[in-house]
Amino acid sequence: MLQKSRKEEMIKGLEKAIKESESVVFVNFHGLKVGDETILRRGLRDQGVDYKVSRKTLLKRALSKKAEGEIPELSGEVAIAYSKDEVASSREIYNFQKAHKGVLEILGGIFEGKFVNKDKMIEIATIPSREVLLSKIAFLLKSPMQRLAIAVNEVAKLRP
């Protein structure tokens, strides 16, 4: 059994992590093997995402009054993934979940100061990265100009 001072210290650590991050993902990691967890932590760290395992009661205390809405149901063994990037934590957990089927489950999270459910976190996780979105915008801007140039060129060919 943990001492009260140790529990308070853990709650303060969780509160600090939640306060300093842009998004938090609640993860059920039941069945995650040590080797897989090492791979997960390394991949998350490379993307600037932190990962903490916590007792549900301590996590619920740390989450009280930290966001709007109702805390999603935290079932199983719970951890949090959090980062200063709004999308990175959910994207990395989602990608690991796809690669290692049945090991991790997203339970919900905190996004833009509100508790969100599992479906919303998965939706956030599938948002393309900033670089991909910028390249799509560049392509969309380039396409009409390219068509106009082709049309002008064809008109120029028709003139004697």
**Cα 128 from Cα 125, distance rounded (Å):** 8
Half-sphere CA count of 75, side-chain side, radius 13 A: 6
Per-residue pLDDT of the chain (160 residues; tens, 9 = 90+): 678 888 888 889 899 988 888 899 999 998 888 999 999 999 999 999 999 998 988 898 888 877 888 888 888 899 999 999 888 899 999 999 998 888 889 999 999 889 999 999 999 999 887 888 889 888 888 888 888 888 888 888 877 6
**Cα 78 from Cα 105, distance rounded (Å):** 10
Structure tokens at 132: 């991909």
**Single-letter amino acid code for the residue at 116:** V
Map out the domains of the chain as residue ranges.
4-127, 128-160
**Cα 107 from Cα 69, distance rounded (Å):** 15
The pTM assigned to this predicted structure is 0.78
Residue 80 phi/psi, 5-degree rounding, is -125, 145
Angle at 101 between CA 96 and CA 102, to 5 degrees: 115
**Cα 37 from Cα 106, distance rounded (Å):** 15
Quick check: helix, strand or coil at residue 43? helix
Quick check: helix, strand or coil at residue 75? coil
The confidence score (pLDDT) of residue 26 equals 94
Question: CATH number of the domain at 4-127, please?
Answer: 3.30.70.1730
The confidence score (pLDDT) of residue 42 equals 93
The confidence score (pLDDT) of residue 41 equals 92
The confidence score (pLDDT) of residue 1 equals 65
